[in-house]
Structure 1
Amino acid sequence: MRRHHLATLGMIVFAAVITLAAHAGVDPTLYQALHWRLIGPFRGGRVLTVTGIAGDSRHFYFGAVDGGVWATQDAGRTWQPIFDDEPVGSIGALAVAPSAPKTIYVGTGEADMRSDIAHGDGLYKSIDAGKHWTPIGLADSRQIGRILVDPRNPDVVFVAALGHAYGPNPERGVFRSTDGGRHWSKVLFKDNNTGAIDLAFKPGDPSTIYAALWQTRRPPWSVYPPSSGPGSDLYVSHDGGDHWTKIEGGGFAAHPGRIGLAVSPDK
């Protein structure tokens, strides 16, 4: 895959129903060992994002469409809404800083384009585990698909902004902050019709970042929007977002539609 370390990258292209993962069978015992139970909360909303705290399996968060942000400290036995005082309830992305677990970043506005969508008003940050929140910009991005926080520094943050659902706008693409959200730089941008939907670090190397761009539009007269616009592409940066290279060839589909990213920690 032309020196892009694509052996590390496992990805699923959802809208195009394309997979680049190996076709080896999955050991069925891995599924048999999984046990699931409903942990609520009742009427929490359609969940789009979940995150936790490394080393604390009982403390985690989720963000919901029109449900805000919820937290549990007892592995889901009880839940507390921690975003109800803010003026928006649609949550698209949520991230806890690995090196400062009381620092939480929230991206408002769901990026799951569907028949009914609720836009947001940018990013929020808490430094006290969700007791208080501060708006930190990108209000016109409207829909945020992913937030990454550098595991070494809670002030270095990357955001995948999809942009307006119903029309073009410039506040979309990949944004980076190096001061905890006080200032933002647009580090990957294609055009006013194409936004970013997903981001992923290479495990062990947060200077290597993969970014998925998605061109989509929600026509007001259509139930489901076109999802495979020609602006949809996959990019990689090896220098912390300063420079980006488009990944193409080697069997990767042209105009793949929506891309979801996951990077293998083993290869």
Structure 2
Amino acid sequence: MKYIQLFLIVILIIPSSADAQRRRSRQAPAPPPVHDSLFHGLKWRNIGPFRGGRSVASSGVVKEPMTYYMGSTGGGVWKTTDDGITWTNISDGHFKTGTVGAIAVSESNPNLVVVGMGEHAARGVMTSMGDGVYKSTDAGKTWKHIGLEFTRHISDVVIHPTNPDIIFVAAQGAQYGPSEDRGIYRSADGGQNWEKVLYLDDTTGASSLSMDMKNPLILYAAMWQHRRYPWTMESGGPMSGLFKSTDGGLTWDKIKEGLPKEFGKAGISVSRANPERVFAVIEADGEKGG
């Protein structure tokens, strides 16, 4: 009889405790709403580095919220591990050139950093051309040059989210003359070998590249027909366009619906939250651009 009574008591206590917990959770106050007025006191400030010059390349590191890399247009690659309070140059003595066009850090291996050289924003006071691609496997302590020396100006580097051996490079190419080293390049072995998977002609380079990180077989590229002269910039033409690949970059189709027939430089990005949503910024005549 004692065992039966104890059994009944235990059965009665358990649901009673669960009911109390449910009552407490129902009574928990909702978090206060966040109003824009709370942020009016925030101001932008320069966190350096103060000797790097302007920058067109930067990258954070997944699961390391205080670590960032920045590539300047004349001062190489800089790194911070304390949210920008201090910066250290990690390319001096390793790189042959100092102008950086793109940086990517592997999402599956934070020690893998890939840098594409050559400022890609064509302008009258551009710094020197780049010399291809550099790779680090120890978070920037040491570097190895992995090719594409004649791409000159690289606009984007993209690393596959789960297979860090798959790397894409968007090469804008030489500024002042025709070059067959433009286009989208793909490596399946960590940069030991490269295949040019999208090429239009010797005056049309790749100005932007974006991967659907939820389905890495899907990529979007912006191709830019352009040439720089000492006295002017020639931008746009019939070869410029947006392209999509659904087989991991092996083949590409031109996107036409809803776009200007001819345009200049473009940037493209697929949403991480909703890959059905793709954004493009396009240089075109009048109200066609934007």
TM, length-normalised to structure 1: 0.85
Instruction: Give me the whole-angstrom Cα distance separating, in 2, the residues matched to 1:99 and 1:229.
Output: 39
Paired amino acid for 1:239: D
Match for residue 88 of structure 1? Answer: 97
Structure 2 residue 133 is matched with structure 1 residue 126? no
Query: What stretches of structure 1 move > 3 A for 4+ residues in a row?
Result: 28-35
Q: How many residues align?
A: 237
Match for residue 209 of structure 2? Answer: 199
Q: Say if 2:69 and 2:78, in contact at 8 Å, map to a contact too.
A: yes
Instruction: Give me the whole-angstrom Cα distance separating, in 2, the residues matched to 1:143 and 1:30.
Output: 43
Alignment of 1:58-137 (within 5 A): 58-85=66-93, 86-117=95-126, 118-137=128-147
Instruction: Give me the whole-angstrom Cα distance separating, in 1, the residues matched to 2:36 and 2:211.
Output: 29
Instruction: Give me the whole-angstrom Cα distance separating, in 2, the residues matched to 1:81 and 1:30.
Output: 38
For each residue in 1:3-59, what CA deviation from the matched residue of structure 2 results, as whole angstroms up to 9, or x when unmatched?
A: xxxxxxxxxxxxxxxxxxxxxxxxx94995775322111121111111011111101
Q: Give 1:261 deviation, angstroms.
A: 1.3
Instruction: Give me the whole-angstrom Cα distance separating, in 2, the residues matched to 1:246 and 1:97.
Output: 28
Paired amino acid for 1:75: D
Q: Give 1:241 deviation, angstroms.
A: 0.6
Alignment of 1:3-22 (within 5 A): none
| Structure 1 portions without partners, runs of 5+ | 1-27
SS in 2 for 1:140: helix
Structure 2 residue 161 is matched with structure 1 residue 151? yes
Match for residue 235 of structure 2? Answer: 227
| Structure 2 portions without partners, runs of 5+ | 1-34, 277-290
Higher RCO (CA 8 Å, separation ≥ 6 residues): 1
Residues 94 and 30 of structure 1, relative CA distance in 2, 3 Å threshold: farther
Match for residue 20 of structure 1? Answer: none
Match for residue 57 of structure 2? Answer: 49
Give the superposed CA RMSD: 1.7
Paired amino acid for 2:265: R
Which structure has the highest helix share of the two? 2
Q: Say if 2:220 and 2:269, in contact at 8 Å, map to a contact too.
A: no
Instruction: Give me the whole-angstrom Cα distance separating, in 2, the residues matched to 1:219 and 1:30.
Output: 49
Match for residue 280 of structure 2? Answer: none
Match for residue 184 of structure 2? Answer: 174
Q: Say if 2:170 and 2:206, in contact at 8 Å, map to a contact too.
A: yes
Residues 219 and 238 of structure 1, relative CA distance in 2, 3 Å threshold: same
Instruction: Give me the whole-angstrom Cα distance separating, in 2, the residues matched to 1:137 and 1:211.
Output: 21
Q: Give 1:226 deviation, angstroms.
A: 2.0
Paired amino acid for 1:240: G
Max Rg structure: 2
Instruction: Give me the whole-angstrom Cα distance separating, in 2, the residues matched to 1:199 and 1:175.
Output: 11
Residues 208 and 30 of structure 1, relative CA distance in 2, 3 Å threshold: farther
Paired amino acid for 1:112: A
* Alignment counterpart, residue 183 of structure 1, candidates 178, 193, 196: 193
